[in-house]
């Protein structure tokens, strides 16, 4: 139900105020010419791709956790037109944590599992909505120190972390590689205690680094909260840092501790259109420059730039969250 007591203009006024702030702030964004050229190039790609599929294709060579042989032949024809049947009809067999997938709270916790915290219990509101894609420092795992340096503002509910796994194309290597980058236990603890992030996306098969004690602790920090959802094995090849909306739809597997998912990342076409029509395209660029600061903090090496970037992200995400909640969710 919409609220008829508020003036129809009050939302627009608030939005205009926020946008004005964004454009003022963007005017102060310090960026070198080279960076700007690079960002403009990425921006062009970003504008051209309206929707990006960020799930991996299920192929026999897709890596599987702790396996040398990948998924293998997971799909078989049961009836075949060529052999005279009326139709082709296949059966597939996959683990619940194959390829791009989500974890349920009960994955590492027997009590939660028995209480019914399976994949069906996951909130669609968390799985869908505005999302921030950030690049992490390539020479580190996602530790508390890295989380602090990323400076992701409060109010950001969904973040996809693009790490060296994407550069190393680990999801295209059949044999499992335990040297992947992911969260350390202190990084996960930091996320759970000091941010509003509820959807945590990573670009290899686990949200946690591989040593067993760390694997357990990271999952406990995230999953025991019952409202944080790790999304693992994402394909972030074409997802340059920026603000998008994510659509993430797990299968409704009752008692499932995880589920393969299909994901798409529409860029914020509607918000971009709106910003463009209000002649504040520069501010969207600045928001993405903002995330660039997050990623390339070593180049800029200036904490002032970092908090500027963080401020811009905060504004962009606030606008996105606001519009999402006031428009899309109200139509459902």
Ligand X SMILES: *[C@@H]1O[C@H](CO)[C@@H](O)[C@H](O)[C@H]1NC(C)=O
The residue from 140, 168, 174, 281 that contacts ligand X (CB under 6 A) is 140
> Pairing mode, if any, of strands 229-232 and 242-250?
unpaired
Beta-bridge mates of residue 199:
158, 229
State how far the alpha carbon of 124 is from the alpha carbons of 119, 289, 314, in Å.
Answer: 11, 30, 23
Nearer to ligand X, 111 or 125 (CB): 111
Least distance (Å) from ligand X to the CB of residue 237?
19
Q: In angstroms, give the least distance from the CB of 88 to ligand X.
A: 4
Q: Which of 100, 143, 181, 306 binds ligand X (CB under 6 A)?
A: 181
The C-alpha torsion from 250 through 120 and 231 to 94, rounded to 10°, is -60
The three-class DSSP label of residue 228 is coil
Question: Measured from the CB atom, is 10 or 139 closer to ligand X?
Answer: 139
Please work out the total of residues on this chain that contact ligand X, with binding judged by CB under 6 A. 20
Asked if 206 touches ligand X (CB under 6 A), the answer is: no
Is residue 139 a contact point for ligand X (CB under 6 A)? yes
**Residue 212 within binding range of ligand X, rule CB under 6 A:** no
Window contacting ligand X (CB under 6 A); options: 2-10, 95-103, 136-144, 199-207: 136-144
Stretch that binds ligand X, among 44-52, 76-84, 95-103, 254-262 (CB under 6 A): 76-84
Q: How far apart are CA 254 and CA 23, in angstroms?
A: 47
> Around Cβ 321, how many Cβ atoms within 10 Å?
16
**Opening angle at CA 307, ends 305 and 309, nearest 5:** 70
Nearest Cα neighbor of 195 from 130, 141, 150 is: 150
CA distance 154 to 144: 16
| Shortest separation between residue 234's beta carbon and ligand X, angstroms | 18
Member of 60, 72, 155, 211 binding ligand X (CB under 6 A): 211
Instruction: Please select the residue that binds ligand X; options are 95, 149, 210, 264, rule is CB under 6 A.
Output: 210
Q: Tell me how far apart the alpha carbons of residues 180 and 203 are, in angstroms, rounded to a whole number.
A: 9
Concatenated DSSP letters of 151-164: TPPTT--EEEEE-H
Q: Does residue 69 interact with ligand X by CB under 6 A? A: no
Pull the structure tokens for residue 144. 């508390």
Nearest distance from C-beta of residue 170 to ligand X, angstroms: 11
The rounded distance, in Å, linking the Cα atoms of 232 and 105 is: 14
Which one, 112 or 152, has the nearer CB to ligand X? 112
Q: Do residues 251 and 216 lie in contact, with contact meaning Cβ atoms separated by under 8 Å?
A: no
C-alpha distance from residue 216 to each of 66, 99, 111, 211, 225 (Å): 15, 20, 15, 9, 14
141 contributes a contact to ligand X by CB under 6 A:
yes
Q: Please say which residue, 141 or 166, places its beta carbon nearer to ligand X.
A: 141
Part of the chain binding ligand X (CB under 6 A), chosen from 122-130, 218-226, 240-248, 314-322: 218-226
Q: Is residue 149 a contact point for ligand X (CB under 6 A)?
A: no
Q: Is 77 in the site for ligand X (CB under 6 A)?
A: yes
32, 111, 193, 303: residue in contact with ligand X (rule CB under 6 A) = 111
Residues at the interface with ligand X (CB under 6 A): 77, 80-82, 88, 109, 111-112, 139-141, 164, 179, 181, 209-211, 220, 224, 226
């Amino acid at each position: 139900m919409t609220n008829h007591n508020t003036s129809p203009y009050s939302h627009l006024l608030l939005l205009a105020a926020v946008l004005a702030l964004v454009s003022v702030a963007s005017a102060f964004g310090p960026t070198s010419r080279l960076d700007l050229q690079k960002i403009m190039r990425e921006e062009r790609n970003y504008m051209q791709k309206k929707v990006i599929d960020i799930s991996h294709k299920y192929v026999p060579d897709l890596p599987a956790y702790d396996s040398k042989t990948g998924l293998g032949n997971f799909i078989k024809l049961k009836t075949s037109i060529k052999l005279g049947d009326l139709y082709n009809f296949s059966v597939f067999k996959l683990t619940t944590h194959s390829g791009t997938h989500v974890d349920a709270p009960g994955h590492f916790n027997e009590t939660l599992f028995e209480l019914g915290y399976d994949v069906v219990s996951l909130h669609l509101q968390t799985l869908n909505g505005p999302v921030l894609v950030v690049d992490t420092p390539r020479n580190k795992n996602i530790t508390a120190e890295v989380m602090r340096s990323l400076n992701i503002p409060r109010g950001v509910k969904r973040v996809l972390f693009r790490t060296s796994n994407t550069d190393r194309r680990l999801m295209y290597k059949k044999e499992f590689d335990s040297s992947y980058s992911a969260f350390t236990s202190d990084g996960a603890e930091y996320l759970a205690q000091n941010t509003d992030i509820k959807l945590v996306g990573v670009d290899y098969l686990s949200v946690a680094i591989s040593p067993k004690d760390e694997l357990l602790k990271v999952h406990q920090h995230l999953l025991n909260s019952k409202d944080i959802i790790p999304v693992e094995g994402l394909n972030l090849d074409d997802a340059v840092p920026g603000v998008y909306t994510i659509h993430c739809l797990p299968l409704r597997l009752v008692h499932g501790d995880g589920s393969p998912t299909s994901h798409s990342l529409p860029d914020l076409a509607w918000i971009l259109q709106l910003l463009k029509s209000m002649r504040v395209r520069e501010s969207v660029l600045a928001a993405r420059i903002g995330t660039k600061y997050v990623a390339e903090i070593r180049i800029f090496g200036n904490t002032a730039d970092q908090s500027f970037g963080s401020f811009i992200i905060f504004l962009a995400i606030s606008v996105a969250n606001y519009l999402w909640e006031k428009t899309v969710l109200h139509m459902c």
